[in-house]
Each structure stands twice: as C-alpha cells, then as structure tokens.
Amino acid sequence: MKMTKMEKKLVNSKKQGQRNIDFYERLSQKIDFTGIKDVLEIGCGAGILANHLNEKYGLNVTGIDIDPEQIELAKEYQEKKENLQFMVADATKLSFSEEESCDLAISTYVMHHIGNWEEALMEIKRVVRSEGFYIFYDMTYSKLLVKIFRPIAKKYGVYTAQDIKRFFEKNNFNVLYEEKRKHFIFKNYIFVFKKTD
C-alpha cells in the first residue's frame, strides 16, 4: 500500500533518515554483521539508509519500494554511486529469481503497510542467505486489537510481535536481538533474526 503525502513528508525528511541510520548503527554495536556484503532494504523510501550503508560500509545495496515516486527520489543517490540500486518492487513478489541473494534484509516501518505481510515474510525468508540476517522494526498490535482489526483492515498488516517471531522461528531463523518500545495503542518491536540453514 502506498503512503499518503503526509507520511511521505515524514519518512523522507532528513531527520527521519538520520533516525534510521542511528537505529542501524546502534544495532551494529550489538550484533556482529561481519561478512555482510549484499543488502536488501524493503520500503527504502528516499534511499537515505541504503545510501549510508553503501557509502560508509561499501555494501552492495538494493532498495525497493512499491511507490515509483519514492524510487525516483532514491535514484538521485544511485547516479553517484557504484553497487547501489533502487527499483520499484512489491515485497510480496520480489523480482530476485535467485534464492538466497542477500546477506541482510531490512524493513523499517514497512510491514504494517502490507496487507498480505506473511507473503512478504516468505519472500524475505527466500532471499536471505544461510547465516544471513533480517532486521524487523515496526509497530505490532495486541491479540485483542488483531482480533478486532484483522478482519476489516485488509490493506494493512495487522499482527502481534509473536506472529512475527513465530513465523521466523518456524522457518529456521534464530532471534538474536529483541526490543520492545511501548506506545499508547500499539508497540514498536525490533527483531534481529539470523537464518540457520
């Protein structure tokens, strides 16, 4: 689902971009990401984090977003860099025909925009290499709110933190890091998963 103009203004701001960079840098202090070379950012927006990962660490980064306007903004970085590309793509049908094509997949406040979020998670499972990582940072809901909203909010990802965790544990990923941040109606969760097969 595409974002509203107001949401785009927020996520494309330099302040939000810096928050995403700070978030990744903080996680990299807790998790050893040594050996990562190919990164997929799902819902890359204007490409600020993808550009940072390419520029600071020399990583091969592919940023995808379902919104062509976002990709056009992100491509301003692409023209100046090697090993950095952006493309319009649906997270539930990734265009990578090759399985296990990245060492790290990242989604930051993306899954709640995807009604069929389980299909997106299946695609992430497919493209992350053995010993690779997936970073999930998004809002989650209580069991009660999921019960109320899931039947009526078909265009949105409505899930509990346990739904996300259970999916990856069933699909040979270990939880390396977990952090909960409470808000009034929903909780923000951070998970770092590592694929074991």
Note the pLDDT of residue 10. 66
Per-residue pLDDT tens for 3-59?
Answer: 666 676 667 678 888 889 999 999 999 898 889 999 999 999 999 999 999 999 999
Per-residue pLDDT tens for 180-196?
Answer: 876 666 688 999 999 99
Note the pLDDT of residue 39. 97
Q: How far is CA 98 from CA 94, 95, 102, 126, 184, in A?
A: 10, 9, 10, 9, 41
Residue 1 has pLDDT above 60, yes or no: no
What is the Cα–Cα distance from 86 to 39, expressed in whole angstroms?
Answer: 12
**Residue 5, SS3 per DSSP:** helix
Shortest CA distance to 57 belongs to which of 79, 37, 84? 37
Q: 143: Cβ–Cβ under 8 A, 6 or more apart, which residues? A: 160
What is the Cα–Cα distance from 130 to 20, expressed in whole angstroms?
Answer: 25
Burial 76-101, CB ≥16 within 10 A → b, else e:
ebbeeeeebbbeebebbebeeeeeeb
Note the pLDDT of residue 3. 64
Do residues 157 and 112 touch, judged by C-beta distance below 8 A?
A: yes
What is the Cα–Cα distance from 41 to 11, expressed in whole angstroms?
Answer: 14
Per-residue pLDDT tens for 124-182?
Answer: 999 999 999 999 999 998 889 888 888 888 888 989 999 999 999 999 999 999 998 76
Note the pLDDT of residue 147. 87
Per-residue pLDDT tens for 59-113?
Answer: 999 999 999 999 999 998 877 788 999 999 999 999 876 777 899 999 999 999 9
Do residues 140 and 161 touch, judged by C-beta distance below 8 A?
A: yes
Count Cα atoms within 13 angstroms, Cβ side, for 52: 16
Element (H or E) spanning 49, and its range?
helix 48-57
Domains, in order of start, for the chain: 36-195 (3.40.50.150)
Positive or negative torsion for Cα 178, 60, 107, 182: positive
Q: What is the overall mean pLDDT for the chain?
A: 89
Side chain identity at 84, as an amino acid letter? L
- DSSP single-letter state for residue 31: S
